[in-house]
Amino acid sequence: MAETVGSTTCSALVIGGSAGSLDVLLEIFPALRNDIRFPIIIVVHRKASNESLLTDLLKSRTTLAVGEAEEKEFLIPGKVFIAPADYHMLIEEDRSISLDYSEKINYSRPSIDVTFQSAAEVFKEKLVCILLSGSNADGVEGLKRVNNYGGSVVIQNPNTAIMPYMPQQAVINVKPHIILDSHDMADYINKLND
């Protein structure tokens, strides 16, 4: 188990993933406390045709409020905000959500990098970002920005990822970081509440 990185006070949690990350999310969410005191933002690469599938799956696994993020919606503690398919999701200085249809980044929209980077600028050392399984390098540049602002970087153990490329790239390129097996992530998140 790696040492804690960054601040222990969490004002926002962003979880990014691509291929193979759904299994991890479905493992994490049933084990989360129902009194989480920070917003949770999920950015997953997915097709627009499956738009409500992720939301419905997570709603069925947790007592936390879960919903697709909406333009100008404010982040509130204890709610799970899911980046809509085919839109980049940015966090504004006033902690509201901005949705953007600009060019794909790393072949992806939503881009994990975009959300990690904008959240880092707003929440600074009180941000925790988790990068899960995936098959491209989206998220790596965003995690570097999180580090620059003093936030905490958590990476799924590539050995436990269905698609290890994304977490491997983060492990190689982003220091410092914490590496966690998928079955340890819910406990880590719950402790951010203490």
Active-site annotation holder among 88, 111, 118, 138: 138
Active-site annotation holder among 11, 18, 108, 133: 18
Residue 138 annotated in active site: yes
Is 42 within 8 Å of 69 (Cβ atoms)?
Answer: no
Active-site annotation holder among 11, 21, 45, 118: 45
Return the structure tokens found at 17: 């993933």
- Beta strands at 152-156 and 127-131: parallel, antiparallel or unpaired: parallel
d(CA 150, CA 100): 26
Residue 45 annotated in active site: yes
Contacts of 44 (CB under 8 A, 6+ apart): 16, 17, 18, 21, 22, 25, 54, 82, 83, 110
Residue 177 annotated in active site: no
Contacts of 27 (CB under 8 A, 6+ apart): 182, 183, 185, 186
**Residue 93 burial (10 A CB sphere; 0-12, 13-18, 19+):** exposed
Residues involved in catalysis = 18, 45, 138
